[in-house]
């Protein structure tokens, strides 16, 4: 199992704590520090069954200032999220064949 985690985000910390309390074996990916590749974003999209735009945090300053109201393709959104990882919703938990956005820690239970 893998968690895309931002240690500065309360919801991400809660999600990681939820997994650790259940003694889940989890690889922690600090995507803010490490970055996130286009291939990783595609894997997330595939496992979550969402569009790239659904992964975007709409309350981030970069979104509000530069991206709001733009009509972009899926590939453009993937590239933008890769270049601006702060835009990725969090935490994202991936299992072998599925994934979930764990913005509510209890949602993570669905993937365990």
* Reduced 3-state DSSP string for 76-101: HHHHHHHHCHHHECCCEEECCCCEEE
Choose the catalytic residue: 3, 4, 5, 9. Answer: 9
Coil vs helix vs strand at 2: strand
Phi-psi region at 99: left, alpha or beta (left = phi > 0; alpha = psi -120 to 50) = beta
For the question of residue 79 being annotated catalytic, the response is no
Q: Report which of 57, 31, 75, 23 is spatially closest to residue 67, judged by C-alpha positions.
A: 57
3-class state of residue 9 by DSSP: coil
Residue numbers annotated as active site = 9
């Amino acid at each position: 199992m893998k968690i895309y985690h931002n240690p500065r985000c309360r919801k991400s910390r809660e999600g990681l704590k939820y997994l650790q309390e259940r003694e889940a074996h989890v690889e922690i990916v600090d995507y803010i520090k490490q970055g996130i590749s286009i291939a990783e974003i595609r894997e997330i999209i595939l496992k979550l069954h969402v569009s790239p735009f659904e992964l975007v945090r709409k309350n981030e300053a970069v979104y509000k200032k530069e991206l709001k109201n733009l009509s972009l393709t899926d590939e453009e959104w993937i590239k933008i999220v890769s270049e601006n990882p702060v835009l990725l919703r969090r935490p994202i938990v991936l299992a072998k064949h599925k994934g979930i956005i764990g913005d509510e820690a209890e949602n993570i239970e669905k993937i365990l």
